[in-house]
Structure 1
Amino acid sequence: MPSEPPAPSPAPHPASRPARRSLVIVGAGPRGTGLIERIAANAPELYAGSALDIHLVDPYPPGAGRIWRAAQSPLLWMNSHAEDVTVFTDETVRMAGPVRPGPTLHEWAGLDGRVFADRRIQGAYLRWAHEQAVAALPPEITVHRHPRRALRVSGSREERQQVWLEGRPRPLRADLVVLALGHLDAEPDEEQSALAAYAREHGLVHLPPDFTADSDLSALGAGEPVLVRGFGLAFVDLTVLLTEGRGGRYEGDVYVPSGREPVLYVGSRRGVPYHSKIGYDWTGERPPLPRFLGPAEIDALAARSGGLDFRRDVWPLVEKELGFAHYHRLFTAHAERTAIAWADFEEKYAAAAAGPEREALVASAVPDPRDRLDLAALDRPLEGVTYGSFEELQEGLRGYVEGDLNRRHDPAYSPDLAVFLGLLSVYGQLVRLEGVGSWWHGFFSCLASGPPGPRLRQLLALSRAGVVNFVGADMTVRAEDGVFRAYGATVPGRSVEARALVEARLPEPTLRRALDPLLRGLHADGAGETADGLLRVDRADGRVLDRSGRPHPRRFALGPHTDGRTPGAFTRPHTGGPAFRQNDATARAALVFLRDLGADAVG
């Protein structure tokens, strides 16, 4: 007789099964990719053995995300030289995890390092970096992609979280959730709502703050005047799409219109474009930064009771640090333009009080005012400046832009590049500090994140062709007499009217007005927010804070919607990369939490 089959082995008790953890990352763009790269780098040390599922949630392509996706105009450029873009860590990043170096954009793509690549090339680089990060994960970590929107996160502090996705009836269950949402849309504020209502009532065109590549510009007719409020990078994209994007072209320094362009009237609070990207390379000794605003100073500021006032408590240190970077370069690289030895100046500069004492020292040691750092003038160059006519303003602003371009491309003024390095150092320190506010972010962007020089050359050509006209500083817009009317302080009493208004800036990344339901749900659920409406996070590891300042053990957030926001998800090589440092801290905290979960955490 045949032998009986062996009795089946009893099923293992659930508690004896290896625990399978789950991490949901909402946002698969550059920040989500950076987090995965840091998880891969730190997992061998912190997370060995247990299986882990990473659920990556984003309707846009992984790596590139919304901003860098392939489906956009090839006319839109990156804002940095190809050699100044990397998504990989190096020895300058102060982090606990290991350095995993990799190619810059120009090395990966085989580009000239001084090229401003188009955004689709950057998107391809980011997609490749995402694939590399996923491939570097240990075999026990598996990535699952969900090309959907995340709608909300639920669950108590003590239990697994539920992440609800659009079009999916059952939630993803997660031991931890990381929000790496990137830039988001927002509902209009009170002023924008009123302008939109006025436009509907009078048959006008009003385009609210938006990502220019996503805006429908078809309503801006050929030859029609259009008011543009905003003079930053969104404005640059707007002019590109409305000029070259409509068939215009450049012949040297002359713009040849297609006849399909509207006529733009642009102004802003400053009334000038952001400062040009610097067009030469660093040589020689770098300023030893940080000097006056480093970890010790940040620790002292963070320990103060009663909260911080940025202008009173932080700005004097920022100003001194940027001045140190500027004068270190001037004295060490252009000593012929100074009146005393650097060692003497440095000692006196360190001891001098802000205000008249420091100004007197600088005046005695630096004869030419053009060699002195004036941050107020850099921030508001039209402060107190007026012109007698609209035509004089056009000529004056063209001269200002030309002067800025010349200086930012002349290594004789290399202290400007030292200030740029100082700005990066300061930003890397300030991300650890609460209460910084949005003014600093705008100031940094104006000085350090301006347009490529060729874009400003094009702006000059557009101005001479009459396609772009300048309104001046402190631009205000009124809805009156059935039109939009713009006023500026630079030509007192002069106004420009139009039937179209474009708000050329990104939506404010606030909790209360975010169109993203996930962020709004967090706010309703008790997440803390700053006075500027940003999501409060623990500066040590990115955990979301509630309104009492208590960190959520299972929720993290990174990116521009948080008060720990950085200049970008990728950065210039060898500059410390604050976003990389944050990614590393969050990845390590997440891995430790997941590693230490008990078997009963699986439900």
Structure 2
Amino acid sequence: MSTGRPGRQSLVIVGAGPRGTGILERIAANTREKAGPLELDVHLVDPYPPGGGRIWRREQSPLLWMNSQAQDVTMFTDDTVQVDGPVLPGPALHEWAGIDGRVFADRRSQGGYLRWVYEKAVAGLPDGVVVHHHARRALRVGGPRHGRQQVWLEDRPRPLLADVVVLAQGHLDAELDDEQRALAAYAERHGLVHLPPDFTADSDLSALAPGQDVLVRGFGLAFVDLMVLLTEGRGGRYEGDRYVPSGREPVLHVGSRRGVPYHSKIGYDWDAAAGERPPLPRFLGPAQIDELLAKPGGFDFRADVWPLIDKELGYAHYHRLFTAHPGRTAMAWADFEEKYAAATPLGAELGALVASAVPDPADRLDLATLDHPLDGVRHTSYEELQDGLRAHITADLERRHDPAHSPDLAVFLGLLSVYGQVVRLGDIGDWWHGFFSFLASGPPGPRLRQLLALSRAGVVKFVGAGMRVSAEDGVFRATGATVPGHVVEARALVEARLPQPTLARTRDRLLRELYEDGAVSTPAGLLAVDPDDGRVLHRDGSAHPRRFALGPHTNARGAGAFTRPRTNSPSFRQNDATARAVLAFLRDLSCRATAA
């Protein structure tokens, strides 16, 4: 592959998955409106195929699904997306694939869609732009601030030369932290199995033997993948609500801090629920974000941001309750709305207003209980806990599939609105992202019905909330707060969660060296970037003129590289801003070269 021909400019994008593809689509869109020739080599660096990248590659189990309905997945802008560049509509996944929009497509299908988007973006580039894919890992980026950058690739003696570099690696692997290193060493000494945090599709699960008791710490989406691969993936099958084992399954003892799986995806759409959408944002919009960013001494998430989030989500909930289910309220919406707007967030006045206007406590929004449903719940036996958890999951499924509880859907829309706003605040810690995922990014309903069947079959057993794992007496032991005193012993432990890499612990050598060379790490260990265009920030307070970064390894992370249609996705806004900044820099560079 070329390292850059004389007279031509060069852009290197590290990462050719959804984020890199989205940036390329925005480059293609924005070059349509610019006059003049563009002589540019675009180098995509990724060992995995362009479009899907690692997570959405075709070479993975067809049993693994997307976590969104096909109608809720798009890579194209629409007229709700507030970008400076052109809006170029395109099909959502279900329209492209010709499938029912309510289907949870498998990940290989999404990989096909992303590959098509990539090819469409390449085809939309001007004649002077040539795209090269390098199926290698990027190891290092160097070069002077005001000169061409060098991007070194594995198994390649010469670097790629780049006028601009965009880092879009996506989700990253991480070195083990102190606890995981200790557990791994203990497992090696005692002949146990320890699988640290990983992308489940890439984990070697062959060490988990049929019938073996396995402790699983983590009850989110990584657990769902693990559950699928160790059951259907080993030959089991479902007959209605009953699971028929193959005999090759281990026994999974699963727990977490919350002790329950993420809330089910909502199983109806707005048309089924009928009625007006809440007008969002209302209490946490651009003006409030501007005020938070301008706050002397900075803002505090719990004191300054969370009260606004709570009030915004409450507004979405009660707007829906009052307008769609007025028989369950005791006050006119106009009166409630006026008093709600005037009340202090999280204050006693607001609580009293809700109590007087909404008679049934089940119709009131209680975010604390939603976040930790097992707080204070105690069972007297392990068997009682199994019954209790199955009842909880069943109730959650029924509620999330019943339009009579459509305020839940309004809260979901509120969460999307909030996420789109708080991304401007940068690194606000992991708690908010976990809370958002627990409420808004849970598994499809069919997966939870499968979980219930596996529980009844004895293949999955619940440990409860506050799960603690210890390594002693040659085994792993798990305890939980929900059944005090009960202990589960096993010779295998799986950490069912994604790695949480910081710049200091990431296995991505390029990012680690970038940090060592002066790039800023946020308190949570993320790469700090300029929120306006994604330029990489340095410890001297400057933004690097030639290096950009977007994605979950940065403090400009969004809810995903692709998104629901018609939600003004922050990811699209970021991609467009970065693409325009890159093109503006290249054109300015070209003009200066011509003038010289």
TM-score, with normalisation over the residues of structure 1? 0.96
Which residue of structure 1 lines up, in the alignment, with residue 237 of structure 2? 249
Cα distance, 1:547 vs structure 2: 2.2
Which residue of structure 2 lines up, in the alignment, with residue 13 of structure 1? none
Please give the per-residue CA displacement for 1:196-248, whole angstroms capped at 9, x wherever unaligned: 00000000000000000000000100111000000000000000000000111
**Alignment partner for residue 351 of structure 1, among 342, 364, 374?**
342
| SS of equivalent residue, structure 1 residue 505 | coil
Which residue of structure 2 lines up, in the alignment, with residue 340 of structure 1? 331
Cα distance, 1:389 vs structure 2: 0.9
Which residue of structure 1 lines up, in the alignment, with residue 537 of structure 2? 545
Aligned partners of 2:175 and 2:501 also within 8 Å? no
Cα distance, 1:552 vs structure 2: 0.9
Cα distance, 1:285 vs structure 2: 1.4
- Asked if 1:407 is matched to 2:385, the reply is no
Find the aligned partners of 1:135 and 1:272 in 2 and give their Cα distance. Answer: 46
Q: How does 1:302-381 map to 2 (within 5 A)?
A: 302-353=293-344, 354-381=346-373
**Alignment partner for residue 563 of structure 1, among 541, 555, 567?**
555
Aligned partners of 1:432 and 1:564 also within 8 Å? yes
| SS of equivalent residue, structure 1 residue 531 | coil
- Asked if 1:290 is matched to 2:284, the reply is no
Which structure 1 residue ranges, 4+ long, deviate > 4 Å from structure 2?
598-603
Identity of matched residues, %: 76
Aligned partners of 1:160 and 1:173 also within 8 Å? yes
Aligned partners of 2:292 and 2:298 also within 8 Å? no
Which residue of structure 2 lines up, in the alignment, with residue 276 of structure 1? 264
Aligned partners of 1:62 and 1:127 also within 8 Å? yes
Give the stretch that moved more between structures: 268-277 or 137-146: 137-146
| SS of equivalent residue, structure 1 residue 347 | helix
Q: How does 1:1-20 map to 2 (within 5 A)?
A: 19-20=7-8
Cα distance, 1:44 vs structure 2: 2.7
Aligned partners of 2:427 and 2:526 also within 8 Å? no
Q: What are the ranges of 5 or more consecutive residues in structure 1 without an aligned counterpart?
A: 1-16
Please give the per-residue CA displacement for 1:42-91, whole angstroms capped at 9, x wherever unaligned: 11334631311111111101001000101000000110111111111111
Q: How does 1:120-519 map to 2 (within 5 A)?
A: 120-282=108-270, 283-353=274-344, 354-519=346-511
Please give the per-residue CA displacement for 1:484-514, whole angstroms capped at 9, x wherever unaligned: 0011111111110100000000000311110
Find the aligned partners of 1:293 and 1:348 in 2 and give their Cα distance. Answer: 17
Cα distance, 1:159 vs structure 2: 1.1
- Asked if 1:104 is matched to 2:96, the reply is no
Find the aligned partners of 2:386 and 2:503 in 1 and give their Cα distance. Answer: 39
Cα distance, 1:598 vs structure 2: 4.5
Find the aligned partners of 2:427 and 2:250 in 1 and give their Cα distance. Answer: 41
Which residue type is aligned with residue 463 of structure 1? Answer: S
- Asked if 1:69 is matched to 2:57, the reply is yes
Find the aligned partners of 1:47 and 1:25 in 2 and give their Cα distance. Answer: 24
Find the aligned partners of 2:34 and 2:502 in 1 and give their Cα distance. Answer: 34
Find the aligned partners of 2:575 and 2:35 in 1 and give their Cα distance. Answer: 16
Aligned partners of 1:180 and 1:557 also within 8 Å? yes
Cα distance, 1:555 vs structure 2: 0.6
Find the aligned partners of 1:93 and 1:417 in 2 and give their Cα distance. Answer: 21
Aligned partners of 1:382 and 1:473 also within 8 Å? yes
Cα distance, 1:600 vs structure 2: 6.7
Please give the per-residue CA displacement for 1:407-446, whole angstroms capped at 9, x wherever unaligned: 0000000010001101001000011113411110000000
Aligned partners of 1:310 and 1:435 also within 8 Å? no
Please give the per-residue CA displacement for 1:116-174, whole angstroms capped at 9, x wherever unaligned: 11111110010001000110111121111111100010012111110000111111111
Find the aligned partners of 1:165 and 1:284 in 2 and give their Cα distance. Answer: 54
Find the aligned partners of 2:122 and 2:190 in 1 and give their Cα distance. Answer: 53
| SS of equivalent residue, structure 1 residue 425 | helix
Cα distance, 1:454 vs structure 2: 0.2
Find the aligned partners of 1:416 and 1:50 in 2 and give their Cα distance. Answer: 49
Aligned partners of 2:289 and 2:421 also within 8 Å? yes
Find the aligned partners of 1:345 and 1:364 in 2 and give their Cα distance. Answer: 10
Cα distance, 1:98 vs structure 2: 1.1
Find the aligned partners of 1:430 and 1:38 in 2 and give their Cα distance. Answer: 23
Aligned residue pairs, count: 587
Cα distance, 1:313 vs structure 2: 1.1
Larger Rg: 1
Aligned partners of 2:38 and 2:126 also within 8 Å? no
Find the aligned partners of 1:383 and 1:75 in 2 and give their Cα distance. Answer: 34
Find the aligned partners of 1:81 and 1:590 in 2 and give their Cα distance. Answer: 33
Which residue type is aligned with residue 418 of structure 2? Answer: V
Which residue type is aligned with residue 92 of structure 2? Answer: T
Cα distance, 1:601 vs structure 2: 6.0
| SS of equivalent residue, structure 2 residue 462 | strand
